Structure 1
Amino acid sequence: MGILDLFGSKLTPAKFATLMTDAARRLGITETIRYDADAFSLAIGADTSRVLNLHNAYNEYCRAGNDERAGVIAAYAAAFVPRSMPATFAAARQALLPILRNRATPDLLRLTQACTNDVGHDAQATLPFSEDAVLMLAYDTEHAVQPITASMLKGWGVSIEECLAVALDNLRERTVSRFDEVVPGVFVSAWNDSYDTSRLLFPDIVHQLNLGADPVMMIPTRGRMIATSGVNLAGMLAMTELAQRYVDEEGRQISALMYRFHKGRAVQHIPEEPVAARLKALQLQSLASDYGGQKQLLDRFHERKGIDIYVASCQLMQAADGSVVTMSVWTEGVATLLPKTSMVVLNRVVADGEPVEPIAVAWDELMNKTGSLKLLDASYPPRYRTIGFPPGAVLDTLVLIAL
């Protein structure tokens, strides 16, 4: 990344892992800590049941100034220290807060653990929020932010809805409108307390910006909420450009959707052109990123379990009309897990010694006319198991897409 460490050389991921391990030792962690270079993570304990992904910490460290880096290390190293949760809901309620996360997050956490061990995963408690985001809960103290799991709620004897009501009250107490106008008519949240995006749950906060009756918002990353007017074309275009910039610079993507308020809650807003095309490109980029993280973990899980199956990539490409589309590849004779993409390229095996030209078909065309795809499970983003490569007679009936 071109970032220099204190010694003037490039800070490699391995060096960063060493810094994190040293910080953990200073906190008194004596358990085994194993660095996994492929996953860029640290596994703690003999059973490797605790896994700390280093991607976000590394990116934040690289962006920080020299005088801020020690604080980044200390903040993330705190996750090494096991924290006991309060035994009762009454004892925990004052530190509960709502968090919005990318919809892929719960499944990626489950897969991360499955890559190293077969210990039962304690799933995070979640509620649906939007097409690409989920609502979760956190227990927030000065030492660490811990997600609330389903087993914690069961132990407390409360529902996630009861916890959410308390968490919203807690966040409301620390919330007053705090936005900066970064370009005319476009505002970016300025709380900088890790809960900026959670304020999307409070419609009145945005309405205080006097954007008119139709404010629209985006929550591209964990620390950014952007707002403008739904009738401000230039503002919405600027908002999508800002969202793209924040994703590229900060990572930790949450949602690539645009939102509006309906009956007091945030719902998806589908803008008109030319905003729609730019937003669609950002959404497909986000989806491809989610699939990339999923593929990496699935490959490691299959390797650990000895499962012979190919996990196809979700690739971005430009269509003939200039729009961005997604593409995956399925080769005849290869058991494959396909991401749900705009089109699928079918690689047929050679016939009579002559190579066969690959063909491309739309996803719905392949799904509806061949019966060759089966949804793997309820994970997000969805993967489909190939059942059998379509025979030539079936392929001849498909409407093809020019490559």
Structure 2
Amino acid sequence: MGFWDRLFGRKAPAAEPAAPTAPAPTANEARSVDPREYLLKQVEALLRADTTVEKVERHPESYGLNITRAGRQGSVFLDNLYADTRELPPEQRLHVIQRFLGSLWQEGPDTLPWEEVRERLLPVLRASTFGMAQLAQLGPDREMVSRRTLPFLLELLVVDLPESAMFVQRRHLQEWGASEDEAFAAAHANLANLSDGVELYDREPSPIWSVDTGDTYETSRLLHPGFLASFASRVQGRPIAILPERATLLIAGDANPDTVARLCESGDREYEAASRRLTPALYTVDDTGRVVPYLRPGDDALAQQMRLAHVRLALSEYTAQKESLDKVHQARDADVFVANLSAVFRKKDGRPITYCVWTHDVDPLLPRADMVSMNEAPMAYFLVPWAEVERLAPGCLTLVPELWPPRYRTTWPAPEVLERLRAAQVDLEDYEEP
């Protein structure tokens, strides 16, 4: 059937439920268990009521189920389903669950020929750690096809099917006989054929536009070359955009500080509330029209607010990455320390500055940060800008190419290198961005 070990995207509700009905957990059960457990029980009940399903068991390591259907075994992970249903009323919640289960049995990328698939491919934006927890339990051929489009974000490929959007894995390209470049080219060609769905969201304090298509590919429009740049004539100043969750894309200009502040506040608020969040940060275009992170010049409160949004994204993604890597290392009995990314506010202007800690006798996987705290001994440390660590101790940092966001394997500097780093130390209040 080709339905196992998939990661599902969100689609508009189908006209009819696609899975059998079954008694949901009782009201007493709903009150006595936490929401995640309640969803798990509800999905279990629906699957057990399906006469084609032979066996259902809890996944021993993840939030999901192992299922045997028609003699075939596989796993279904429920984190995304929980995120999609946790705030829905009961009837709508049941419908979404039924639709999700129905999509498990539909024909997928495994069985479709390349000639048909290439007409259904579309690119989507996701957070850099999307799917990382599940992929840790799957083989290399199950890795999703991706590109590192923006800091802390990924561009992935999906096959747009009636009930769900299924992510393209490496094995699919091999089965289709297609290259990664061919697949992305087809996806972008299909994206160009989608309507832009742009509507005027508000006129004050200056024009704000919204991509309002309802097809769940709203933020994908940002991947279309020249799309954001094309708003130069419709906004005041350089085009800027927020995409706090997958179905929200608002675009304005940066000439009016009140508009910038409104977008920043909206991005932060919607990101915090979203079940399928992307980024709280703002984005713009460079002189070539390429989408890049937006950082407002200066050190005023609004500029610091812009920086904080990007720092929040970095903290969130590095934390999620560390959690996943720690689980992998524990399962493999590997003694690897994955360092945290942390942040502080500079006293003189409230600027957020990120840092990581590199301790003597520990060779951590370091996240990229503004500054590195070199801890020679307990209560003995000094701060060095990351750029200076790269310049003065290049042999001590090795980029791990398969990790995104980036991390570096480390080797503690030799005494002479450490002295050069000590000479390059700066106080937090004196740090300046390179």
Common fold: TM-score over 0.5: yes
How far the C-alpha of 1:203 sits from its partner, in A, is 4.8
Give the number of equivalent residue pairs: 387
8 Å Cα contact 1:217-1:260 kept in structure 2: no
Residues 346-361 of structure 1 aligned to structure 2 (within 5 Å): 346-349=374-377, 356-361=379-384
8 Å Cα contact 1:309-1:334 kept in structure 2: no
How far the C-alpha of 1:173 sits from its partner, in A, is 4.6
Q: Which moved more, 1:178-187 or 1:219-228?
A: 178-187
8 Å Cα contact 1:78-1:144 kept in structure 2: no
Please name the residue that 2:310 is paired with.
Answer: 283
Residues 79-118 of structure 1 aligned to structure 2 (within 5 Å): 80-81=104-105, 83-85=107-109, 86-105=111-130, 108-109=131-132, 112-114=134-136, 116=137
8 Å Cα contact 1:333-1:389 kept in structure 2: no
Please name the residue that 2:18 is paired with.
Answer: none
| Aligned residue identity for 2:123 | P
Please name the residue that 2:319 is paired with.
Answer: 292
Q: Judging changes above 3 Å, is the alpha-carbon distance between structure 1 residues 120 and 399 closer, same or farther for their aligned structure 2 residues?
A: closer
Residues 193-232 of structure 1 aligned to structure 2 (within 5 Å): 193-200=215-222, 201=224, 203=226, 207=231, 210-211=234-235, 214-232=238-256
> Match of 2:43, SS?
helix
> Match of 2:157, SS?
strand
CA deviation vs aligned residue, 1:220-246 (integer Å, no higher than 9, x gap): 321110111232322122111111111
In 2, distance between residues paired with 1:358 and 1:113?
37
8 Å Cα contact 2:218-2:247 kept in structure 1: yes
8 Å Cα contact 2:67-2:73 kept in structure 1: yes
Of 399, 420, 425, 1:399 maps to: 425
How far the C-alpha of 1:326 sits from its partner, in A, is 1.7
How far the C-alpha of 1:71 sits from its partner, in A, is 3.0
> Match of 1:58, SS?
helix
Of 386, 404, 416, 1:363 maps to: 386
Q: Judging changes above 3 Å, is the alpha-carbon distance between structure 1 residues 215 and 374 closer, same or farther for their aligned structure 2 residues?
A: closer
How far the C-alpha of 1:102 sits from its partner, in A, is 2.7
Residues 59-98 of structure 1 aligned to structure 2 (within 5 Å): 59-78=83-102, 80-81=104-105, 83-85=107-109, 86-98=111-123
| Aligned residue identity for 1:361 | V
Of 182, 187, 195, 1:175 maps to: 195
In 2, distance between residues paired with 1:131 and 1:188?
23
> Match of 1:307, SS?
coil
TM-score by length of 2: 0.75
Of 350, 358, 362, 1:334 maps to: 362
Of 353, 372, 387, 2:411 maps to: 387
| Aligned residue identity for 2:323 | Q
In 1, distance between residues paired with 2:180 and 2:165?
17
8 Å Cα contact 2:264-2:282 kept in structure 1: no
How far the C-alpha of 1:172 sits from its partner, in A, is 4.7
Of 34, 54, 63, 1:11 maps to: 34
Give yes or no for the alignment of 1:242 onto 2:266: yes
How far the C-alpha of 1:133 sits from its partner, in A, is 3.0
8 Å Cα contact 1:330-1:345 kept in structure 2: yes
Give yes or no for the alignment of 1:260 onto 2:288: no
Task: Specify every segment of 5 or more residues in structure 1 that has no aligned partner in the other structure, as ranges.
Answer: 350-354
In 2, distance between residues paired with 1:213 and 1:128?
28
CA deviation vs aligned residue, 1:24-72 (integer Å, no higher than 9, x gap): 44454445543457x5455667999746251x43233223234432233
Give yes or no for the alignment of 1:158 onto 2:178: yes
8 Å Cα contact 2:141-2:171 kept in structure 1: no
Please name the residue that 1:122 is paired with.
Answer: 142
| Aligned residue identity for 1:325 | I
How far the C-alpha of 1:391 sits from its partner, in A, is 4.5
Please name the residue that 1:352 is paired with.
Answer: none
Give yes or no for the alignment of 1:345 onto 2:373: yes
In 2, distance between residues paired with 1:374 and 1:72?
45
Of 172, 182, 192, 2:214 maps to: 192
Q: Which moved more, 1:23-32 or 1:227-236?
A: 23-32
8 Å Cα contact 2:59-2:75 kept in structure 1: no
8 Å Cα contact 1:362-1:401 kept in structure 2: no
How far the C-alpha of 1:138 sits from its partner, in A, is 1.2
> Match of 2:388, SS?
helix
TM-score by length of 1: 0.80
> Match of 1:311, SS?
coil
Of 142, 160, 166, 1:146 maps to: 166
8 Å Cα contact 2:238-2:254 kept in structure 1: yes
8 Å Cα contact 1:122-1:150 kept in structure 2: yes
How far the C-alpha of 1:385 sits from its partner, in A, is 1.9
Q: Judging changes above 3 Å, is the alpha-carbon distance between structure 1 residues 176 and 153 closer, same or farther for their aligned structure 2 residues?
A: same
> Match of 2:174, SS?
helix
> Match of 1:175, SS?
coil
In 1, distance between residues paired with 2:285 and 2:198?
19
> Match of 2:77, SS?
strand
Please name the residue that 2:21 is paired with.
Answer: none
In 1, distance between residues paired with 2:83 and 2:309?
20
Q: Which moved more, 1:25-34 or 1:320-329?
A: 25-34
| Aligned residue identity for 2:208 | V
Please name the residue that 2:296 is paired with.
Answer: 271
> Match of 1:98, SS?
strand
How far the C-alpha of 1:14 sits from its partner, in A, is 2.8
In 2, distance between residues paired with 1:234 and 1:155?
52
In 1, distance between residues paired with 2:66 and 2:412?
38
> Match of 1:20, SS?
helix
In 2, distance between residues paired with 1:77 and 1:209?
45
Q: Judging changes above 3 Å, is the alpha-carbon distance between structure 1 residues 360 and 166 closer, same or farther for their aligned structure 2 residues?
A: closer
| Aligned residue identity for 1:197 | T
Q: Judging changes above 3 Å, is the alpha-carbon distance between structure 1 residues 73 and 363 closer, same or farther for their aligned structure 2 residues?
A: same
In 2, distance between residues paired with 1:391 and 1:261?
42
In 2, distance between residues paired with 1:68 and 1:88?
34
Q: Which moved more, 1:173-182 or 1:57-66?
A: 173-182
